[in-house]
Amino acid sequence: MVMTGDDRVASLNRSSASADPREGPSTDVGRVRNFWRTVDRVPAGAAISVRPGGRTRNIVVVTGWIAESRILPDGRRQIFAFMLPGDMAAVSESSHVGSRGLVALTNVEIADAAALGRGALDEPVANSLAEAMRRREERLFDHVVRIGRLSAMERVLNLLLELYDRLDAVGLVKDDTFRIPLTQEMFADALGLSVVHINRTLQQLRRKGMLTVGRGAVTLHDRQRLAAFACYESERPAERPLGRCGSMAGG
Amino acid sequence: MVMTGDDRVASLNRSSASADPREGPSTDVGRVRNFWRTVDRVPAGAAISVRPGGRTRNIVVVTGWIAESRILPDGRRQIFAFMLPGDMAAVSESSHVGSRGLVALTNVEIADAAALGRGALDEPVANSLAEAMRRREERLFDHVVRIGRLSAMERVLNLLLELYDRLDAVGLVKDDTFRIPLTQEMFADALGLSVVHINRTLQQLRRKGMLTVGRGAVTLHDRQRLAAFACYESERPAERPLGRCGSMAGG
DNA sequence: CGACTTCTTGAACCGAGTCAAGAAGGGTGG
DNA sequence: CCACCCTTCTTGACTCGGTTCAAGAAGTCG
């Protein structure tokens, strides 16, 4: 798991305006054009905030990863969520230490969601933004469970499975593999563990053949089994076989 | 910390429609009357959900405590938040195992928020509901930090300090003391710890003279100091002296 | 009073943290 | 292309916070 930036969306229309490209692959082309005209580039490590003048801003991630996090006065950090290409969010101003903030984990391209509907939020944009907010909140709950009630191994797998599904939805997964620009430290700060323990946990998972990590990419082997082990439930309710999670049938 | 129900709001107008009574102690009296006509009673332990027919329901807690939680298929439970008198929320239907659900921790009285504005949500109600949602989300982030990055002692104190502030805001604190209808198990499930360890942690805090717990009531001694220790930041930004939290100056 | 829940405490265990040092990458300038 | 630096990853040894198991005490309720 090495930091390697530049995982830009292969084909534009797959990560277009709609938060969930599956429902309508190619949205209004003119809208997407407008999209690109208002793109902002943010370098890795930089904070994402409203310009001094503005109030609140609805953005869409076009390329790259963003973390939503808080830093405690004594330096401890907690990452609440990762924003991936296609994700929308409302950004308000904040100082970050003590409060929440968005930080670019890679070089990032973001677009103003408002611009998609030229000016005021129009119906479809407002809707997908609302839908995005709903999902974001749901993920936040998942994250609380992860941190509060899962073991280290379960946490790691559970998070990776979520990232898999989300990246898959925007076409960034191929052969059960996706690029992941996170350092083990970021992983640790998201999951409430120490870097060292994240490392050891990944080693274990590797040895058990459950996943492959390295050079900025992750491959999940037998996601079905991993999901059952890590109490992971896919967002779309189609597939849900999990019995009592936590135990490992054969491993 | 013993379960003792019946902590009803002493004076009605303090817990009236507005989520934050401080800004306007006595809201429209007629509205409050209407309030009482549409009150629902829910016994301790019961789930709170929409009636079979309905879709989504905006409610206000009038009396009692409610927990928002999820139960994993293997029985582990995570409590996301506590709803106290005066809190508003939007309730949608859910099965609870696997997904989220609201459970009455005590006997509870709830009112329909919509009823406050006779029918459709009117401006003031919609606003305070939006404001309540904002705060609720902010608290959820606080909770993630608590669980993800604080030690057991910090977690316990931090949560108690939050409950203090919220109960104080609706007039349910007197002499640094408030009633708390939580069992240690609920505390454990909220903070991601075991019951036994919650118990021991409370013992420690007692011995250090930081708080008093017993017979369903908690008293916090020297909240200023406790807040600094537990990385707690009050919602209203007036008072914030905390330096680098985590260490105990003298104790 | 009896039954049940909740609290408390001890002892043993172990998952995860800390400290520390070395290896492996990755990027940069000469 | 190499030398160097800095970040990230890895591993070992040790510590410790928190869990588990178990059993008894204290409350609480009918």
The percentage of residues in chain B with a pLDDT greater than 90, rounded to a whole number, is 53
| pLDDT at residue number A83 | 96
3-state secondary structure of B149: helix
Report the alpha-carbon distance of residue A246 to residue B4 in Å, rounded: 34
Report the alpha-carbon distance of residue B231 to residue B234 in Å, rounded: 10
Chain B 212..251 CB hits on strand C (< 7 A): 214
Lowest mean pLDDT of A44-58, A165-179, B22-36, name the range: B22-36
Report the alpha-carbon distance of residue B68 to residue B25 in Å, rounded: 28
Distance from CA of A144 to the nearest CA of B (A): 6
Confidence at B113, pLDDT banded by 50, 70, 90: confident
Mutate to test the interface with A, among B82, B95, B137, B147 (most CBs of A within 10 A): B147
Q: Which of B127, B103, B105, B106 is nearest to B116 (CA)?
A: B127
What is the pTM assigned to this prediction?
Answer: 0.84
Lowest mean pLDDT of A24-33, A53-62, A182-191, B84-93, name the range: A24-33
| pLDDT at residue number A116 | 58
Report the alpha-carbon distance of residue B63 to residue B84 in Å, rounded: 8
Q: Does A246 sit within 8 Å of B191, measured CB to CB? A: no
User: How many cross-chain Cβ pairs, A to B, lie less than 8 Å apart?
Assistant: 83
Name B95's Cβ contacts closer than 8 Å, sequence gap at least 6: B101
Report the first-to-last Cα separation within chain A, whole angstroms.
Answer: 23
Lowest mean pLDDT of A45-49, B110-114, B238-242, name the range: B238-242
Name A34's Cβ contacts closer than 8 Å, sequence gap at least 6: A115, A116, A118
Helices (H) and strands (E) in chain B, counts: 7, 11
**Chain center to CA of A76:** 21
Chain A 209..228 CB hits on strand C (< 7 A): 215-216
| pLDDT at residue number B237 | 58
Report the alpha-carbon distance of residue B120 to residue B126 in Å, rounded: 9
Distance from CA of B191 to the nearest CA of A (A): 7
| pLDDT at residue number A242 | 54
pLDDT average, residue stretch A129-136: 87
What residues in chain A have their Cβ under 8 A from chain B's Cβ atoms? 70, 72-78, 80, 98, 100, 137, 140-141, 143-145, 147-149, 191-192, 231, 233, 240, 242-247
Interatomic distance A242 CA / C9 C1' (Å): 38
Closest C1' nucleotide to A215's CA: C25
Which element (helix H / strand E) includes B207?
helix B195-207
Interatomic distance A65 CA / D22 C1' (Å): 49
Residue position matching structure tokens 């593999």: A177
Confidence at A112, pLDDT banded by 50, 70, 90: confident
Residue B13 burial (CB count, 10 A): 14
Higher-confidence position of B227 and B90: B227
Residue of chain B with shortest Cα separation from A244 = B74
Residue of chain A with shortest Cα separation from B145 = A78
Confidence at B6, pLDDT banded by 50, 70, 90: very low
String of DSSP letters for A136-188: HHHHHHHHHHHHHH--HHHHHHHHHHHHHHHHHHTT--BTTEEE----HHHHH
Per-residue pLDDT tens over the stretch A81-91: 999 999 988 88
Q: Provide the 8-state DSSP code for B97.
A: B
Report the alpha-carbon distance of residue A21 to residue A19 in Å, rounded: 6
Per-residue pLDDT tens over the stretch B146-178: 999 999 999 999 999 999 999 999 999 999 999
Report the alpha-carbon distance of residue B6 to residue B181 in Å, rounded: 9
The structure tokens listed for B101 are 């659900």
Kindly report the backbone phi and psi dihedral angles of residue B48, in degrees, each rounded to the nearest multiple of 5, phi listed first.
-110, 115
| pLDDT at residue number A95 | 54
A4 beta carbon to strand C: under 7 Å: yes
pLDDT average, residue stretch B18-36: 46
| pLDDT at residue number A92 | 74
Q: Which of B62, B56, B54, B22 is nearest to B38 (CA)?
A: B62
| pLDDT at residue number B94 | 62
Name A70's Cβ contacts closer than 8 Å, sequence gap at least 6: A77, A78, A80, A96, A98, A99, A100, A101, B141, B145
